[in-house]
Amino acid sequence: MSSTSTENNNHSSSTAAAAADTAAVVSEFEPTTGRGGGPVDLRPIDQRVPEAMSNYNLPSSAATISTKVQRLHEQFPTFANKSADDLEDLLRFEDLFQAHIDGLEQVQLMRTLEYELREENERLAEVNLSSEEELRKMRENVAELQMFASSLTSRLYELVQEHLDLQKPYSPLLLLQRLKDECREVDGQAEDVAKRFLDKEDKIDSAECEDFVKQYRALRARFHSSESRCRLADAAYRSGSLAGVPLSLDR
């Protein structure tokens, strides 16, 4: 009988201890109550500090509470290790909250990176300012060289145009035209010689006949030679074998 009562007492004690532990864990999430049972009024805080969690509704499910506690330990370990009083102090006192935030490793790393970035920007600014005079001189030299290069380019275009003007009389098209004119001129000379010989009313002796034949044959031979060269040159020009010289330079 005594053993049974002892077991019941032990069971009641363990149950009370478990209930006390559960109440201690849950009490961190419950709003703090005063003597009259109502919530304790906290001092108004600055907007930069999170709002007091006096109106937080504790989930009824133990699994949900366990999940939230685990998430709190994983994502906010610095807050998870604090008691309810400490959390209320952080919400009540702005300086204490700011000191806690400043002590976070992520914040310290961010400020270290910010400091290094600012130092590097200042160093680069000093380097750029020290090179200002040198850059100004280089800019002036570049402007002078650009003007000189522009003048040389203009002179080059002038010389090329002069060269093209000198080549115009010797272009394939003009030479072909001159060859055609020469061919027509020789043909006209031969026709004039034959007409003058045939229009003579006086008696023509053998010497005049020999001179006419010799002169006419020479003119006709010259005409046929010029005509043959003219046809060959015209065919070559039409086929593109003879490249013409441009009349002007496109800038």
Domain chopping of the chain, boundaries: 137-168, 171-251
- Report the C-alpha gap between 157 and 134 in whole angstroms: 35
Distances (CA, A) of 113 to 104, 105, 108, 123: 14, 12, 9, 15
pLDDT digits (tens, 9 = 90+) for 39-55: 445 444 444 444 444 44
- Among the listed residues 18, 25, 21, 23, the one whose alpha carbon sits nearest the alpha carbon of residue 69: 25
Strand partners, 33: 39
26 confidence band (pLDDT: 50, 70, 90): very low
User: What six digits make up the tokens of 111?
Assistant: 């400020």
C-alpha span between 221 and 186 (Å, rounded): 10
Q: Is 52 exposed, middle or buried (0-12, 13-18, 19+ CB in 10 A)?
A: buried
pLDDT confidence of residue 113:
93
How far apart are alpha carbons 110 and 143 in whole angstroms? 45
Asked if residues 197 and 150 have their Cβ atoms less than 8 Å apart, the reply is: no
Is the pLDDT at 29 greater than 70? The verdict is: no
